[in-house]
Every structure is written in C-alpha cells, then in structure tokens.
Amino acid sequence: MPKLLPLPRRILIRKLRKLGFSGPYPATRHEYMERDDEKIFIPNPHGKDIGLPIIKKIIQQLKISNQEFFDL
C-alpha cells in the first residue's frame, strides 16, 4: 500500500469533491465541506501542506480506508 504523505489543501479539497462533498463554506474558525448531513472541517490555508495527523483524522471521519483515499 502506498504511504500517506502530507497533502496540499487544494488536493484535499479535490479528493473530497470526488467523494461528493461541496464547498468549502466559511464557518466560525475553519471552513467545512458538506455532503447530505455530513460535515468535514478542513484546515485553513497557511501555505503549508496538511500534516498526516489531520489527514488521518479526516479519513477516519469519512469511514474509508487509506487505500481508498489514496486512489481518489
């Protein structure tokens, strides 16, 4: 299985859109993307890649495997 690596924010947004999410929409502190009644909060753009702990947390919230996320 390919190793997960930090991702640029735009790639994360692209992957979430492939899963049927729309957005990002503004919220109080972070933007979020939504699909039906499900919301995924995404990190603010700070010019750096999104770290592995946050990516793993998002994958866990999506209830998909690392491989499925990688294949998007």
Domain hosting residue 55, numbered range? 9-71
| pLDDT value of residue 44 | 85
Whether 1 maps to a domain, the answer reads no
Whether 4 maps to a domain, the answer reads no
Number of Cβ atoms within 10 Å of the Cβ of 12: 22
Whether 63 maps to a domain, the answer reads yes
| pLDDT value of residue 70 | 86
Per-residue pLDDT of the chain (72 residues; tens, 9 = 90+): 678 889 999 999 999 999 999 999 998 899 999 999 999 999 988 888 999 999 999 999 999 988 888 888
Whether 37 maps to a domain, the answer reads yes
How many domains does the chain fold into? 1
Whether 2 maps to a domain, the answer reads no
| pLDDT value of residue 1 | 60
Closest CA to 60 of 44, 40, 36, 43: 40
3-class DSSP string for 32-54: EEEECCEEEEECCCCCCCECHHH
CATH number of the structural domain spanning residue 49: 3.30.920.30
